[in-house]
Amino acid sequence: MANNVHKYGFRWARSVNGNQDPPVIEFTVADAYQAKADDTTTSVDLNVGDPVKMVNTGTVALAVTTNDVFGIVTAVLPYWNGTAMTPSNRLPGATTGGGILERKSRVLVTPVKAGYWECDVDDNSTATTEAAYLAFIHENVDHTCVGDTTDANRPKADPRLDISGHATTNTLGWRIMGISKTLENVDFSGTNVKLIVDCNNVQVFDATHGNIGTGV
């Protein structure tokens, strides 16, 4: 068995309409916001690849397993590190700009329904062959923010597909659309097999997708 290389979070796979570049919307993150992994006790940073939800303060926050997803963080804009605005691919937990508008934390988010996404599964026991993964296509699955504190200075939500919970249940967050064609899927009996998914339960629908959502 050869384990597959782990890649972080949700990655843009392709658009739903043929566009090459994913659309992005700029959002602020609440001052001193501290994201928590699924266990609600593990504090994590906000990273590129994390699923997020809109909240009623006009900001976005990490979307854990029980949350409908609005979009995926595709970039983190420079944040205030206490001295200067600092470029980064992550927003450290509890970052504060001291209430100064120019120091607000901001991220770029791609609406999840703009495309299909690649993500790693979280175990190598539910399925161990390509045929087994093929049988899951068109079923649904949730994501899980397992939390990765291997580097105490860079704790991550580490979102993955909770593949053991695959089912036809309509309340599960993601629809499995296929197996990723990436060459990084080297062994289907190994860890971190990569699937292509479409968001099944979106925080904000529109008429194009069959529903109209209320505000948050």
Distances 103 to 29, 30, 82, 97 between C-alpha atoms, Å: 11, 11, 10, 5
Residue ending a domain, choose from 83, 112, 141: 112
68 vs 123: CA distance, rounded Å: 23
Range of the domain at 135: 113-209
Same structural domain for residues 87 and 135? Answer: no
The fraction of the chain above a pLDDT of 70, given in percent, is 94
Burial class (CB in 10 A: 0-12, 13-18, 19+), 199: buried
| Paired residues of 175 in beta bridges | 140, 198
Question: Does the pTM of the predicted model rise above 0.85?
Answer: yes
Residue 82 lies in a domain: yes
Distances 35 to 27, 41, 94, 182, 216 between C-alpha atoms, Å: 16, 10, 8, 30, 19
Contacts of 146 (CB under 8 A, 6+ apart): 37, 38, 122, 157, 158, 159, 160
Q: Which residue, chain included where needed, has tokens 């949700």? A: 10
Same structural domain for residues 123 and 200? Answer: yes
**How many folded domains does the chain comprise?**
2
Radius of gyration of the chain (CA): 17
Mean of pLDDT values over 193-199: 98
Same structural domain for residues 119 and 108? Answer: no
Distances 136 to 191, 195, 198 between C-alpha atoms, Å: 17, 10, 13
Comparison of pLDDT for 211 and 47, the residue scoring more: 47
pLDDT tens column, 108-127 = 999 999 999 999 999 999 99
Residue 51 lies in a domain: yes
Same structural domain for residues 168 and 134? Answer: yes
Same structural domain for residues 26 and 96? Answer: yes
Mean of pLDDT values over 172-181: 97
Confidence band for 182, pLDDT divided at 50, 70 and 90:
very high
Residue 10 lies in a domain: no
Mean of pLDDT values over 169-189: 96
196 vs 13: CA distance, rounded Å: 7
The fraction of the chain above a pLDDT of 90, given in percent, is 89
Residue 84 lies in a domain: yes
Confidence band for 96, pLDDT divided at 50, 70 and 90:
very high
Residue 2 lies in a domain: no
Output the six-digit token pair for 143: 């994501």
pLDDT tens column, 2-44 = 899 999 999 999 998 877 789 999 999 999 999 999 999 999 9
- How does the average pLDDT of the chain come out, rounded? 93
Looking at the predicted structure, is the pLDDT value of residue 207 above 50? no
Residue 121 lies in a domain: yes
168 vs 93: CA distance, rounded Å: 35
Confidence band for 205, pLDDT divided at 50, 70 and 90:
low
Q: Give the pLDDT confidence score for residue 1 in this predicted structure.
A: 73
Same structural domain for residues 127 and 201? Answer: yes
Residue ending a domain, choose from 78, 112, 146: 112
Same structural domain for residues 20 and 102? Answer: yes
Same structural domain for residues 69 and 102? Answer: yes
Work out whether the CA dihedral 113, 170, 196, 26 comes out positive or negative: positive
Residue 4 lies in a domain: no
Q: Give the pLDDT confidence score for residue 118 in this predicted structure.
A: 98
Same structural domain for residues 204 and 117? Answer: yes
Q: Which residue, chain included where needed, has tokens 């949730």? A: 142
Q: Which residue, chain included where needed, has tokens 């993955």? A: 160
Same structural domain for residues 138 and 88? Answer: no
Output the six-digit token pair for 5: 């290389």
Give the angle subtended at the CA of 91 by the CAs of 25 and 48, to the nearest 5°.
Answer: 55
Residue ending a domain, choose from 112, 127, 146: 112
Same structural domain for residues 76 and 95? Answer: yes
Same structural domain for residues 105 and 137? Answer: no
